[in-house]
A and B are shown apart, each in its own frame.
Chain A
Amino acid sequence: MSITINDEEMSWNQGMTVRQMLDAMPGQLHMVVVRVNGKMVSRHDWDTATVPDGAKVEVVDIIAGG
């Protein structure tokens, strides 16, 4: 039972929310965009949206724009 975040494997728990997933990631994060299986998860939903087993997750540092 695992997911991949930016191509790196991470263990997965039943009911894991996006927020819990981010908290478990190492290092200081500056990311603002999370995509689960290609779909962006609004930051307003990070506490409630769950990550399914086997999900392919992208956590992208957005410092650009402009």
Chain B
Amino acid sequence: MGKILKELSYTPGQIDKGYNNRTLYVNVADNTIKEKPVGDKMKSTFTGGKGFDLWLLWNAVNSNTKWNSPENEICIAAGPLGGTPIYPGAGKSIAVTISPLTGIPIDSNVGGHFGPMLKYAGFDAIEVQGIAEKEVVIFIDGPNHKITIEEVEGLPEDAYSICEELTEKYSKEDPAKISIVCSGTAAKYSKMGILNFSYWDRVRKVIHLKQAGRGGVGTVFSHKNIKAIVATVDKMNIDLLNPADKEGLQAVGRAHSKEIRDLDPKQNEMAVLGTTHLVDIMNDYDLLPTNNYKFGAHPKYKKMDRDAYRTLFHKGFDGCWVGCSVACAHCVMDFELTSGPQKGQKLHVDGPEYETIAGCGSNCGIFDAEHVIEMNFYCDTYGVDTISVGTATAFLMECYENGLITKEHTGGMDLSFGNKESALELLHQMARGEGMGHILGQGIRYMKGHFEKEFGADRKFMEDIGMEAKGLEYSEYMTKESLAQQGGYGMALKGPQHDEAWLIFLDMVHNFMPTFEQKAEALHWFPNFRTWFALNGLCKLPWNDIVPTDNKETAEPAKVIKHVQWYADFFQAVTGVPTTPETIISTSEKVYNFQRIFNLKMGHGKRVDDAVPYRSVGPVTVEEYESRVERYDGQLKEKHGVDPAGKSSEEKVAILRKFREEQYEGLIDAVYKRRGWTTDGVPTVEKAKELGIDFPDVIELLEKNQ
């Protein structure tokens, strides 16, 4: 390791009702380290977590800032509830930056212990600015109240190795007292780089990694020449949080934990299977993306379903937060790699989640549980996003099968759907910055332009099948039969990620929202409620992946209102702020609208930016139409009054497309109206004033765009 570039001793903090009331600023270009105060206005407006990140970033960048500009920042925060040991799912961190894929703020919610440790070390958030001359490690030494920027040489490139070496260096005696944030070698060469957040498994004595995966936050990190950010603490416990109502906090935390322990074994077995249980369900409902979202099911799905992973996952507790009873993070021991630089090695690898199974599996036409595990391992250790890698590879495969690219362009690789060796090789190329894998790593939006310009590929077809919006690759659900979810993805602030809105079952399966207005109401409540998790350092899984037995008898089962009330009680017990299910929504609405306005500041955030590829709305090709001909013919006849008899499939594709595109525009109108935005998707000045986010520069920006 190299020399210390800067060292700062700081006054020990004391958490008061969830807050340290200060954040940490580090500039790796000029080696500035300083504290910034957190005032009441900042807390009441932005809450914490993603809200704090966005506010810090807003004040750091200007409208010309690009992802690789020195003033762009990586901001990481836990939130006032993050780091509460007694509550399930309360160990999350939220990372925010200007994304290399979208040019607007990206937020990514991640497990691992860094955010909580940063908080126990004395800071509500960290913002890192500048580009270091040489690779550095930022070390937040909680027990000794010291922060250093250290120049490093000779650290490994890949995430697991970096974390092992730094754990040995900084916390050898007790590896549970350290958490490391790092990326990996592919983040250098791609725009879909991730941040890995580590935590220690006391039983297996291995390091686990969780990922802030979306939008290329690891690419920014790597470009800043940051090798790692490290935090250490002596202990994390409820007394150190100084909650306003300790007994109340313990009561609600125990109630939620107990319910999960009682019901999870009877519901989805998250503690045994994680989110892999979704594979069977999505396939059954024609929602499992297959062959670049052409289809929603495949007969071979059982080769990578819940039972396949049941046999592969190592038994034992696998929570990414202290005592979390959902415990959905799983792993495979002694897994033998079949490719790449670690071929033949038997390693502990973290288990894939549903998104990775669907993205790197079915969406690429690959049905092989062990292949997905290997893709997951290499994506993590190389530092790239399994969702973007999966969706972009699926796009590439469809381009190949349609002759838009050939072996001449792929260096001889056969990129047909189902070719798992090629999928792995693309990933290894990405890590070396070579060949088609390097192009893949720039994302679908880049590939569309590149293939048109360099290979003369059909741009219109690529616009239809390239599953990106705002520049971000879609996560892994079929939306063709759910208009509400088309909007949920299309109008998601950061791009099409399911953590903002997931309405498919309500809309498509249960038909709870038959009108535009009902869909718009759902696209108000759910994104705001889900945003609240990111403001507070929480995981959303305990909210609605395990539900009370009497939930179906409540007025609105989809909201799981019993749990919403528990979250209100949780927030009030920690912060002392009177909280109800209604104030949760009004609190989130401030940050939700602020993020939309932030998009506007960066030159986006208008109606044109909420456009979606037609593949997400309906069948692009005759092959897709004919695969579900009964459904589509029926819809033409019953829903749109068009008799399909005597019409060619090409004609029917075109007619259906016209109807569906009109519906999407109608939905946008209804949602903007409900949200208090103009018809161009801009929050009104009145809305900003109502929400208390009427800062002078916000009003100036809005007035120019009303």
Contacts and interface: CB of A to CB of B under 8 A. Distances in A.
Contacts of A31: 552
B552 A7 contact: no
A63 B266 contact: no
Contact of B267 (A27, A58, A66): A58
A38 to B, nearest CB: 9
Nearest to B485: A66
Nearest to A63: B558
Contacts of A62: 268, 281, 505
B267 A63 contact: no
Nearest to B548: A61
B545 interface: yes
B549 A27 contact: no
Contact of A32 (B285, B477, B545, B558): B285
Interface string B268-292: 1000000000101110110000000
Nearest to A38: B307
Interface string B471-484: 00000010000000
Given A61-B547, A65-B502, A43 B284 contact: yes
B275 to A, nearest CB: 9
Interface string B498-534: 1101101110011000000000000000000000000
Contacts of B553: 27-28
Given A7-B266, A27-B553, A63 B284 contact: no
A37 interface: no
A65 B280 CA distance: 12
A3 to B, nearest CB: 15
A6 B266 contact: yes
B551 A61 contact: yes
Contacts of B101: none
A29 B285 CA distance: 17
B552 A65 contact: no
Given A29-B552, A61-B547, A42 B284 contact: yes
B505 A63 contact: yes
B560 interface: yes
Contacts of B504: 65-66
Chain A interface size, as a band, is: 20 to 34
Contact of A64 (B284, B509, B544): B544
A7 to B, nearest CB: 7
A33 interface: yes
- Looking at chain B's contact residues, is the secondary structure mostly helix, strand, loop, or mixed? helix
B552 A58 contact: no
Contacts of B477: 65-66
A30 to B, nearest CB: 5
Interface string A32-66: 11000000101110000000000000101111111
B305 to A, nearest CB: 9
B449 interface: no
B499 A40 contact: no
A60 B505 contact: no
Interface residues of B, number: 30
A62 B545 CA distance: 8
A6 to B, nearest CB: 6
B549 A65 contact: no
B618 to A, nearest CB: 21
A64 B563 CA distance: 13
A43 B267 CA distance: 17
Contacts of B499: 66
B547 A63 contact: yes
A27 B553 CA distance: 7
Contacts of B268: 60, 62, 64
Contacts of A6: 266, 549
B557 interface: yes
Contacts of B551: 61
B645 to A, nearest CB: 26
B552 A40 contact: no
Interface in A2-42: 6-7, 27-33, 40, 42
Nearest to B355: A66
B166 to A, nearest CB: 33
Contacts of A33: 281
Contacts of B541: 64
Given A27-B553, A33-B281, A65 B505 contact: yes
B281 A63 contact: no
Contacts of B510: 30
Contacts of A40: 280-281, 284
A1 to B, nearest CB: 23
B478 to A, nearest CB: 11
Nearest to B530: A66
A61 to B, nearest CB: 6
B604 to A, nearest CB: 24
B498 A66 contact: yes
Contacts of A61: 547, 551-552, 557
Contact of A58 (B266, B501, B544): B266
Contact of A27 (B502, B547, B552, B560): B552
A22 to B, nearest CB: 12
Given A65-B282, A65-B498, A66-B504, 12 more contacts: A6-B266, A28-B552, A28-B553, A29-B552, A32-B281, A32-B505, A58-B266, A62-B281, A64-B268, A65-B502, A65-B504, A66-B477
3 pairs of A and B residues whose beta carbons are closest in the complex: A66-B502, A66-B498, A64-B545
8 contacts: A6-B266, A29-B552, A32-B281, A58-B266, A61-B557, A64-B547, A65-B505, A66-B499
